[in-house]
Structure 1
């Protein structure tokens, strides 16, 4: 698509988009102290707005004797109790602010980690989301109007499929949602127009794996960016992307409700989107406050991910934004043994250890239907050797408390994000 036409169409949807984008690009030259001052002012603004227009937040601030006009908004933030998705769902109407915005967009979470959440996102908030992604593209010399592959789910109702088809046409992208050989063969034909690949991390990994296995690794001469989102990027995913496409595997981290939290630069460091969010690391968990969420204030939100953040790091790219060193998995998801419980991060550790010890890259999904038993699906034929080393690695953590059954994982058509752990208890 012509980049000028793309700019005009995107501005019709988001009048503030390109103004925000220009601001974000200018902020790349700020010092860390100046970026912190920007957050200071935006935090004060969202706290005052939330108190004045959100019945829920006014009630919470009053209940906890939180004075939002105190000199230090960061000090105020520390006093606000944590919220989670259940809180947002059960207090939905009260959290929405009683303010007349010129334009809002209805947003909805996927529901893969529990109940689905619907809310309205004010236009400026939405513009910051989109502009943050576009800024991330710019770090990799990508213009968002350029042709791309988009690995994502597809709604099966005819009406919504038609809407999605038009959206994809306007955004100059080809949507992919299956793992069939014929689809991969079609994608991996020589294509000098492909600029970037984005979408579900596990899906892009499968394409890369197929490309390497079938000697189709030089078909995209002008590919500039491969970006995964919505799912954890495992270490062996990055190795395979490098083999297949000669590029790193960039990460876009966030959620529908918290917004865009981070984006990877060309040095494989994921920078916090500081103009839009304040992210805190509390007991290893990501706690997010969105600075633009005036229609539905997201304050002290439990993102649900185990993270490690370096607030003082200096990246070779020169950006002043802090670095999210890792996103390892979900907080609070438990695997039940016969007598004990284990965090679902156990899965990450087991297969990370196997990768380091045996140089074996294994994609996996674990499903629990009964306490004391765990079905582990892997993307390779479960040979006697594989069964033995996987079982042995689990036993290091669980002894005889958990019976492991190993079977083959088959990737199929995708309508939602891939989850490495599914509890049916």
Structure 2
């Protein structure tokens, strides 16, 4: 309803700020002011925050107290970023096994906000945040959306997973909260097919959102169905925001064509917060006020220079109840040595290559990102979609969904040749399937590696 947005901005948010001390809008203003600072000033502010976090962690977090003596020995003469590199990377598996050691000693249970990852790539990771950290994540998202003229309370339709862990009563309460306190309507990402397209389009038209928000694969699938069936949305959008998955070029093209709106990439994770947002000049700006990012070699762990792709390590600069220093989020990316033409001082991500688990290993020991299969198959009309799984360096499964009208038998051999050209003389089992099932969260994975990122000699 047209009044819902103004009521959220003028009534609900002021009440939250007064009675719950919510400071999200204060943090939005802080981030907006910081985006106009010079690169040097932003780095100095980030370094100071990192130093404060390290001071807290080595004194109050059991997992890091063993570094207290080294920290004091440095006497503040060493850059916090240099000292941080002495600490080991924090892998998710290790964090899950020792999670209690990362909770701050004496943390107030009333201030702990439990959260968990969706587990779409394995076992869910459970962790704690505090209210200021959650609000800073939200502030980063709203700042990014504001670059496209989107305001708090503006209506949006989410192409999203379902709150499957909730019982029916809690799910109903969740939906009411989304609708009336956040002005958001949800279309399940796992319920997208051609037979439901008219229902989905009617839902979107009735709600008249200012923007769409969802998984890259789900938005692309909805766009593809609309284009195939000749449907038009008929609602002017300020943006279509893709999140939670790598946004591939072919998906961006489909989404832009179907919805006639800017396609905006949001980069973040439940256990990493909102890390970066794409500006109208196409730069992916990292919110250096909230986090410290490192990119390291996936095998040696050595820090890589800007422009080189490696494993991302995230250090949240504000979470005091459960600090995770050098946390391996599981993604591959590169930091850019360049600034953005938009003029903002926030650093820029050069490229986001997806998850570490999407990175394949060839028989000669080199690494090949799973995106290579996109480049091979997306130029072929024979297949609607696909999935490539590397079980061992020499053994893979390729799942293909045919397009009956355009299928050519010789295209399968072309795909196999492309795979072997990238990975070596590997064994590939081809399976033709009716569809590629998304995970329980609604995400769809096109490239999956199940073996270690090494090859035995």
TM-score, structure 2 normalization: 0.83
Mapped pair 1:352 → 2:375: yes
Moved more, 152-161 or 226-235: 152-161
Mapped pair 1:150 → 2:161: no
Q: 1:240 to 1:332 in 2, by over 3 A?
A: closer
Superposed CA offset, 1:83-131 (max 9, x none): 1112211221111102445733111111222222212101111111010
Q: 1:369 to 1:55 in 2, by over 3 A?
A: closer
SS at 1:226 equivalent:
strand
Mapped pair 1:393 → 2:406: no
Mapped pair 1:197 → 2:212: yes
Mapped pair 1:174 → 2:158: no
Q: Supply the distance in 1 between the matched residues of 2:208 and 2:444 (Cα, whole angstroms).
A: 29
Structure 1 equivalent of residue 264 of structure 2: 250
SS at 1:251 equivalent:
strand
Q: Offset of 1:39 from its aligned partner?
A: 0.1
Residue pair 2:387, 2:447 contacting (<8 A) in 1 also = yes
Query: What does residue range 24-35 of structure 1 map to in structure 2 within 5 Å?
Result: 24-35=31-42
Q: 1:414 to 1:405 in 2, by over 3 A?
A: closer
Structure 1 equivalent of residue 307 of structure 2: none
Moved over 6 A (4+): 63-66, 339-342, 357-362
Q: 1:362 to 1:265 in 2, by over 3 A?
A: farther
Q: Offset of 1:10 from its aligned partner?
A: 5.2
Residue pair 1:137, 1:143 contacting (<8 A) in 2 also = yes
Q: Offset of 1:286 from its aligned partner?
A: 1.0
Structure 1 equivalent of residue 446 of structure 2: 420
Q: Offset of 1:218 from its aligned partner?
A: 4.7
Q: Offset of 1:409 from its aligned partner?
A: 5.6
Q: Supply the distance in 2 between the matched residues of 1:173 and 1:411 (Cα, whole angstroms).
A: 28
Superposed CA offset, 1:305-354 (max 9, x none): 111111x42222221111112111222567688x77775x4431132245
Residue pair 1:179, 1:412 contacting (<8 A) in 2 also = no
Out of 206, 226, 230, the position equivalent to 2:244 is 230
Q: 1:351 to 1:13 in 2, by over 3 A?
A: farther
Out of 326, 332, 349, the position equivalent to 1:306 is 332
Structure 2 equivalent of residue 43 of structure 1: 50
Q: Supply the distance in 1 between the matched residues of 2:339 and 2:361 (Cα, whole angstroms).
A: 41
Superposed CA offset, 1:143-194 (max 9, x none): 1311111122113431332232123222111111111335432232445821
Moved more, 78-87 or 178-187: 178-187
Mapped pair 1:165 → 2:175: yes
Mapped pair 1:214 → 2:236: no
SS at 1:143 equivalent:
coil
Structure 2 equivalent of residue 105 of structure 1: 113
Q: Supply the distance in 1 between the matched residues of 2:357 and 2:397 (Cα, whole angstroms).
A: 20
Q: 1:313 to 1:424 in 2, by over 3 A?
A: closer
SS at 2:171 equivalent:
helix
Matched length = 420
SS at 1:377 equivalent:
strand
Q: Supply the distance in 1 between the matched residues of 2:67 and 2:270 (Cα, whole angstroms).
A: 23
Structure 1 equivalent of residue 315 of structure 2: 289
Q: 1:371 to 1:306 in 2, by over 3 A?
A: closer
Note the residue ranges of structure 1 that are not aligned, 5 or more in a row. none
Mapped pair 1:78 → 2:85: yes
Q: Supply the distance in 1 between the matched residues of 2:241 and 2:73 (Cα, whole angstroms).
A: 41
Q: CA RMSD in A?
A: 2.9
Q: Offset of 1:408 from its aligned partner?
A: 3.9
Note the residue ranges of structure 2 that are not aligned, 5 or more in a row. 298-309, 452-457
SS at 1:79 equivalent:
coil
SS at 1:304 equivalent:
strand
Moved more, 159-168 or 145-154: 159-168
